[in-house]
Amino acid sequence: MPEAPPRESIAVRVWIALVTALLGYRFFHFIWLNAVNIPFWDQWDFLTSFFAGGHPSPSTLFLWQHGPVREGLGLIADKYLYAATAWNIRAESFFIGGCIFAAMLLALALARRSFGRLSWMDAAIPLIFLTLIQWETMIGTPNPAYSAIPLLLILLYSFALLQPGYLLRYGLLLVLDFLLIYTGFGLFMGIVTICVFALECYWRLRGPASVPAAVPWLGLALVAATLGSFFIHYTFSPAADCFTFPHPPFQPYLVFFTVMFANFSGIWIPPDHGWIPPVDAMRIAGTIPMLVLGAVFLIQVWRLLKSGSSRRIALVAGSLIAFSGLFALNTAIGRTCLGPGGAFGSRYASLLIPAFLGLYLSVRELLVSFPQVRYRAALRGLAVALLAILVVPGSVVTPTLYGYWASGKRAWANCYLQTGDIAACDSRTHFQIYPNPATTELKRKLDYLKDRRLSLFAGR
């Protein structure tokens, strides 16, 4: 039997723990300072069933559609969280942060499971997950279904891919695929899962395997049916009012797509509110991470087709990159009409984390298994340097736009507690908690919270 790889040294464990603790403190301290206890923007819409005064069933909450996706586990989590905290939106922000932090811990465990031990390089994982580029996910319009719960489920999905027994592996994939499809933008994992089972069928056709011939085909049929079930009683609802498709010419789609990744990397971050860099500069900056991630994905697909099911790490990395790529492509198609500045949306960053984790796992595997060639050390150094360029800047930069939202929400809430007048507070604070109050019955919903002393009215 081959020898087990040596365990990581105490110094490596201390290093990983120190980086995780420091970044974790910054992450949660940021939430503590900037989360405000008032529902904001889309929350007034997707929480509508809670304002009805009854007790919506879990199935109603699970299937609730908001925009192009369903809320799934998100509204179910909110139901119990709100009941326990008197609708404390700050608690929801910390819950979302906790999901992201838990996903980061799972990613560290995934690296250890994949390579046998932790490495000093694994400090890249908390850098990827705890970036403040994603500030809007926690303190903008908190919604666990949008990205936090899907991110956590995607890490569990990655562990499922590594299970050696096909019954356990397939069973976990089917369950997690169902939850992901119905929870926010985890929807795109449904397409990835179809590709995963198609690969399983391909490997089974290539030769004898421990998996019975009919099983992967049955799995493929089930995951396709699961994705199809999402569209039962579905209403097409684009997230942008200006949506048109196609949106000629093609170039704006490419700019939007690439800038999303460049923004995450910190290659190009708007320095202040309202400033948009030139389109040519955005396209050039965005091309770097797009080309790197695209090349890594194609390499992993080639390895999977050539080497078969033994390349489980390649399958995990390829699946992670594919998910974020599909999400970014969908976002570009749906929101290009907003202009290239729309690609800087902070909330998108959380769902790009899987791609950069897939990139990291690919580089880590390269360092472990790179063949003995003449320029091995130089190539390994180049790979590490490239990874650092794509991960570190976006992780250490603190964006400035969050202050506008945090102070605006705080000022509006204080104003409303004093006046009870929506229009007056919009005017006085130069800030709105909802763009068209009448369309969502904002006054009625605020009265609902006030009568029951919930959210901003708690303790009054």
**Same-domain status, 212 and 132:** no
pLDDT at 1: 41
**Same-domain status, 382 and 283:** yes
**Same-domain status, 263 and 321:** yes
> Among the three residues 237, 265, 289, which one is the final residue of a domain in this structure?
237
Q: What is the band of 372 on the pLDDT scale with cuts at 50, 70, 90?
A: low
> How far is the C-alpha of 449 from the C-alpha of 68, rounded, in Å?
28
> How far is the C-alpha of 397 from the C-alpha of 270, rounded, in Å?
11
pLDDT of 27 higher than 80: yes
Interhelix angle 353-369/148-161, rounded to 10 degrees, is 30
pLDDT of 392 higher than 90: no
**Same-domain status, 378 and 285:** yes
Higher-confidence position of 323 and 400: 323
pLDDT digits (tens, 9 = 90+) for 289-335: 788 888 888 888 888 888 765 678 899 999 999 999 999 999 988 88
Q: What is the band of 172 on the pLDDT scale with cuts at 50, 70, 90?
A: very high
**Same-domain status, 268 and 342:** yes
Q: What is the band of 418 on the pLDDT scale with cuts at 50, 70, 90?
A: very high
Q: What is the band of 272 on the pLDDT scale with cuts at 50, 70, 90?
A: very low
pLDDT at 271: 47
**Same-domain status, 75 and 195:** no
**Same-domain status, 274 and 364:** yes
pLDDT at 254: 81
> Among the three residues 237, 272, 288, which one is the final residue of a domain in this structure?
237
Main-chain phi, psi angles of 143, to 5 degrees: -155, 100
pLDDT at 286: 65
pLDDT of 387 higher than 90: no
**Same-domain status, 248 and 381:** yes
Residue count (the chain): 460
**Same-domain status, 25 and 129:** yes
pLDDT digits (tens, 9 = 90+) for 429-459: 999 999 999 999 999 999 999 999 999 999 7
Provide the domain limits for residue 443: 1-159+401-460
Average pLDDT of every residue of the chain: 86
pLDDT of 263 higher than 50: yes
Q: What is the band of 274 on the pLDDT scale with cuts at 50, 70, 90?
A: very low
Number of domains in the chain: 3
**3 burial type by CB count under 10 A (0-12 exposed, 13-18 middle, 19+ buried):** exposed
Q: What is the band of 237 on the pLDDT scale with cuts at 50, 70, 90?
A: confident
**Same-domain status, 21 and 148:** yes
**Same-domain status, 257 and 349:** yes
pLDDT digits (tens, 9 = 90+) for 39-97: 999 999 999 999 987 688 899 999 999 989 999 999 999 999 999 999 999 999 999 99
pLDDT of 2 higher than 90: no
> Among the three residues 347, 369, 398, which one is the final residue of a domain in this structure?
398
pLDDT at 444: 95
Q: Enter the pTM of the model.
A: 0.92
**Same-domain status, 171 and 152:** no
pLDDT of 351 higher than 50: yes
pLDDT of 269 higher than 60: no
pLDDT digits (tens, 9 = 90+) for 175-210: 999 999 999 999 999 999 999 999 999 888 887 667
Average pLDDT over residues 119-143: 91
